[in-house]
Amino acid sequence: MAGKRSRSEEPSEDPEHGDTKQSYVPRYTPGKRPRSGTLPKVDYVHPLDPTEELITDLDWTIPKLNLFIAFTLDNLVDAHKTLFKHFIKLPSRKFHPQYYYKIDQPISINEIKSRDYEYNGGETKFLLDCELVYKNCLAYNDPDCLIVKNAKQVVYFIKNEVLKVKNATKNFLVNDDVKTRLISTYETLLNVTDKKMVEILEEDEAVKSEPALIENLDDTLRICQPFLELVDKDEYPEYEEVIRLPSSLNMVKNNLELGYYHKIYDFVTDVNITFQNALIFNDEDTTIYSDASKLMRCFNALIQKRFFPDLETAREKGEITLEYDKIEYKQFVQEEEEEEPILSDDDETNEEYNHIEGLGNGYNRGLMSRDYLLGPSKTNKTADSKADSSESDKPLPLKFNILPVIKKHNIEAKLSPEPYNVIQKIQISSSRSFYEQSIRPLKGMYQNADNNSWFEYIFADGSLSQNSNKYSITLPPKQNSVTFISHLSSPVSEENPATLIANKDRVNPIPVLNGDKFDESKARYDIKLAEGLNTVTFSIKNLESDSVETANFWLSVLP
């Protein structure tokens, strides 16, 4: 299988990344790079990928679509300003006058936000307009320049957000049962070969291939191998210039096992990003590009045709409990289920107020992205409507035996919290280095006269367990450097390492001295926090019980 490579590089000899080293690696330059000669024709009608879920599924809508678009695009622009900056506005007529002679339908993020998509088929039209940003950029610029690759990432980022909302009714919270099934789906994807991929895609597309062709396909080589690890920065230094969110399948699995993903489609999005990065960085005629495209289709087929049906069957049997994110449920799911009357009795009796701006006679200002956070509007319902809603709110009877569910709930109610065996104590304090420097300053150094509020929090004596491992702490002002010390019952080793992640970044431990020797049962971490809310997660595997002991802390740093 060919390794990852850009257009300007020759194929590598190694199956994954290549053995031959290039003496010179070209760098991408920012800005527009107009093509020379005749421009290719832009397709305004057909989508880039007619087989993707957002295009093939026709029976889906997004409530308050215009507000959702403005809200989502504003958030993406704020989060990825460098990536979106060339596409927020139309090109300048002063500096790029030829653009408007070569491109028939110019479009930008601001143009999309100003359009009305709240009509039948508006979701598909919105996706086509987003793809038009990339199509215009590809037609006008050299296909291998940085701005074209950025435009493709912009389209993928928008589609990933739309995919989450489209599947809001299936975007359940990730509990232990859901996590187990997601890991099983991941393992299935990891072992996919050419032969198994055809069988999985046939389940999704209902297209049967000839048995003779399937038998001739390879069933030994795992196609996912090049996507397991991150791209080597030394071998491909230009990769970081192009890809904004580097990802790998092993990284996604580690995040899943550590509880990083809150909802199902957080995991699905990261897997898709792994393959989307390969589609952006590599040429269309490379093997790695073809494999990434097929693997992304295969993964989404596994999610839609195997994972969700099995999940729904388990819920109907009472084997698992599925929960929604409450905020997302109110925005997308509950609003679709509630059909409110177009004209209520209050609207009929208050006609004398309808001449006043903003009281029901239409919008008097442009829609703002923050309006999307207001949620569905409420109207006073009649007694009949209240009776109907109370009947509809009654839970549906289970299709299977309810006794296992009752038994499971009774057992869970009697469970007592089991303290951690490996994690004995955790200390979170002011930076030890700053504290020692403050109380024992070096000779000749200026001693700060300000009174610092030093702090130390200790979690011990069974305060950490499977049922009690989440804590929120507000630190004193100007305390953005902390020291984290873990006391363990067994020494840390390469086979059983301890992991500390602060704001998604892994922190390396500092050895702790106990006299003249290093104490391997303790690990010290010096963390630099940002103002606001910070997340710190410490985890280590319990080899005896084959479980992971995790402690989660939310540290709020005041300015």
Residue 515 located in a structural domain: yes
**Residue 210 domain-assigned?**
yes
Residue type, 509: P
Domain boundary pick from 323, 352, 387: 323
List the CATH number of the domain containing 490.
Answer: 2.60.40.10
Judge whether 389 lies within some domain: no
Which of these three, 258, 292, 323, is where a domain ends?
A: 323
Tell me the CATH number at 184.
1.20.920.10
Question: 499, 557, 550, 551: which is closest to 528 by C-alpha?
Answer: 557
The C-alpha atoms of residue 318 and residue 312 are separated, in whole angstroms, by: 10
| 212 & 128 share domain | no
Instruction: Determine the residue type at 400.
Output: F
Is 19 exposed, middle or buried (CB count within 10 Å of its CB: 0-12, 13-18, 19+)?
exposed
One domain for residues 207 and 138: no
E-state strands within 380-479: 423-430, 456-459, 470-474
Task: Show the domain range for 312.
Answer: 172-323
- How many domains, in total, are found in the chain? 3
Describe the chain by its helix, strand, coil percentages, rounded to 5. Answer: 40, 15, 45
Same domain (yes/no): 131, 206: no
What pLDDT, on a 0 to 100 scale, did the predictor assign at position 415?
Answer: 47
Query: d(Cα 558, Cα 484) in Å, to the nearest integer?
Result: 19
Residue 10 lies in a domain: no
pLDDT reported for residue 208: 54
The string over 52-76, giving b where at least 16 C-beta atoms fall within 10 Å of a residue's C-beta and e elsewhere, is bbeeeeeeeebbbbbbbbbbbbbeb
Gap between the Cα atoms of 248 and 267, Å rounded: 12
Q: In terms of domains, do 146 and 229 share one?
A: no
Query: Which strand (E) or helix (H) includes residue 507?
Result: none
**What pLDDT score was predicted for residue 352?**
46
All residues at 6 or more sequence positions from 210 whose CB lies less than 8 Å from its CB, including other chains: none
Check whether residue 466 and residue 507 sit in a common domain: yes
Token code pair at residue 65 = 């679509």
Structural domain contains residue 239: yes
Angle at CA 267, nearest 5°, toward 261 and 271? 145
Same domain, 283 and 314: yes
Q: Are residues 431 and 508 in the same domain?
A: yes
Q: Is residue 263 part of a domain?
A: yes
Domain shared by 177 and 309, yes or no: yes
Q: Max Cα separation, the chain? A: 87
81 in a domain, yes or no?
yes
Distance in angstroms (rounded) separating the CA atoms of residues 496 and 494? 5
pTM attached to this predicted model: 0.59
Q: Are 346 and 380 in contact (CB under 8 A)?
A: yes
Cα-Cα-Cα-Cα dihedral sign, residues 347, 350, 354, 356: negative
Q: Burial letters for 344-376: b for 16+ Cβ neighbours within 10 Å, e otherwise?
A: eeeeeeeeeeeeeeeeeeeeeeebebebbeeee
Domain check: are 152 and 205 in the same one? Answer: no
Question: For the chain, which residues score pLDDT lower than 70?
Answer: 1-30, 204-216, 218, 329, 331-417, 439-452, 461, 515-516
Q: What letter would DSSP give residue 306?
A: I
The answer to whether residues 269 and 233 belong to one domain is yes
**Location of structure tokens 């290549």:** 18
Q: 426 near 464, Cβ under 8 Å? A: yes
Domain match, 473 and 515 both? yes
How far is it, in rounded angstroms, from Cα 495 to Cα 383? 65
Q: Is there a single domain that holds both residue 102 and residue 116?
A: yes
CA-nearest of 121, 103, 109, 118 to 77 is 109
Task: For residue 288, give Cα distances in angstroms to 6, 245, 549.
Answer: 11, 18, 38
Taking the CA atoms of residue 349, residue 351, residue 357 and residue 361 in that order, the dihedral angle to the nearest 10 degrees is: 100
> Is residue 82 domain-resident?
yes
